[in-house]
Structure 1
Amino acid sequence: MSLLTAMFLSLAITTTTTTVLLLLTPAAATALQVMMTQLRRPSGSGGCFPGEMDALLEFKEGIADDTTGLLASWRPEDGQDCCRWTGVRCSDRTGHIVKLNLGSRESINPFAMRLFGEISHSLLSLHHLQHLDLSHNSLEGPTGDMPEFLGSLKSLRYLNLSGIPFHGLVPPHLGNLSNLRVLDLSYTANSYSPDISWVTRLRRLRYLNMGDVNLSMADYRTSASRFARTYTRRNVYSVLRRYFTSKSDFREYT
């Protein structure tokens, strides 16, 4: 351990972290925060936080069939570091799980799906999750449709649920994901949305794909004008414009 590191640790022990951070340069303060994060992680859980590991294991319990062994590395034995599990990525700075990539890159084919089961509420324990890709798997919410609770993952910037055979309502709760940049709900079988005004609450959205979602009941007169005001210079607007091209009055409202 270097002398500088030892001094940092000594300061952290003898006074509050907040006070120390005020006395250090920004770079040194960041370094100290990283070290304190490392110190807070119990050695028995490897490099990940126990609560986040438990959330992943609970998610795995909801998977009835893992056809290709995608989650085979998700085991708590032998001090496993969940940050090293397949599809999991943790922040180098904080150590929290920020990415969960379990999507299938195969073509849209029911025989190519790898995971069959339920999307667990345990994902709500991943408070720092920014990227969630569950695409092209046979998954569902507790009632068989797209789960409403996904709208509570407030740190999400990327959400890909494409190719999942959901049925029922696309939850407007997704409009609560204020940090979202990318939303892909394409090819979600029998999903529908009678009101897509919730999309306009996603002010940071850069890409949206709702191809194959049934929007025939949507109030396009209201939605078109809202989308035009919110997304005129973004890809989102051009994508949604195509959904309404069959509506003769679309241009009147844009």
Structure 2
Amino acid sequence: MSHLAHRRILLKLSGEALMGEEDYGIDPKVIGRIAQEVMEAREAGAEIGLVIGGGNIFRGAGLAAAGMDRVTGDQMGMLATVINALAMQDALEKLGGKVRVMSAIKINDVCEDYIRRRAVRHLEKGRIAIFAAGTGNPFFTTDSAAALRAIEINADLLLKATKVDGVYDKDPKKHQDAVRFEELDHDEVIARDLQVMDTAAFALCRDHGIPLRVYDVSVPGNLMRILRGESVGTLVRGRH
């Protein structure tokens, strides 16, 4: 077992990260590659929880803006995260992983209910725990769910896997002079309204001392680099 700077992590993946170059749904090559990296981290000794968004299938907030009842839309979005969680479970199990999907809403024919103590036990037993259905409540994003689960399982680090290589002062796709931050504190991110995660998620991390690292999931090997303590992407943590 190699020495790891971070032993227990919560990895937040967006649903869009699973699309690859597709317009909708899940690209098998992309989910297979991410699963391979997660398995490599597990085999190195990391305890891993996963939260996956549902934006590749359904966005409740988007349809709510178009007139759908917001609670109904968010519940549909929660179900989309369960679909992604089951797909990731399958990809990990094909690589020999022991995986449990735990849902914040009752859907017992396909996965377990989320129970904090049971989730921690899964991690201690070397299983990968995938936390589905967000917080189980409307009006909360999967970013907030990731921060909440990270706190509940006493994670050393919350990882936000994105399509960019960290946090910038403005959108690097629109502004060539955008500057990437190596390190920020939670209050700076909230004050600058940098919107890498929603404000509630950052506030949860700040109040409970959970460091967050934002990194580019499309670069092979980044996950293990972070676990070994390398400075990849942008670190957001409390003031020292």
Query: TM-score interval w.r.t. the shorter chain?
Result: under 0.3
Structure with larger Rg: 1
The structure carrying a bigger strand percent of its residues is 2
Higher relative contact order (CA 8 A, sep 6+): 2
Structure 2 length normalisation: TM-score?
Answer: 0.25
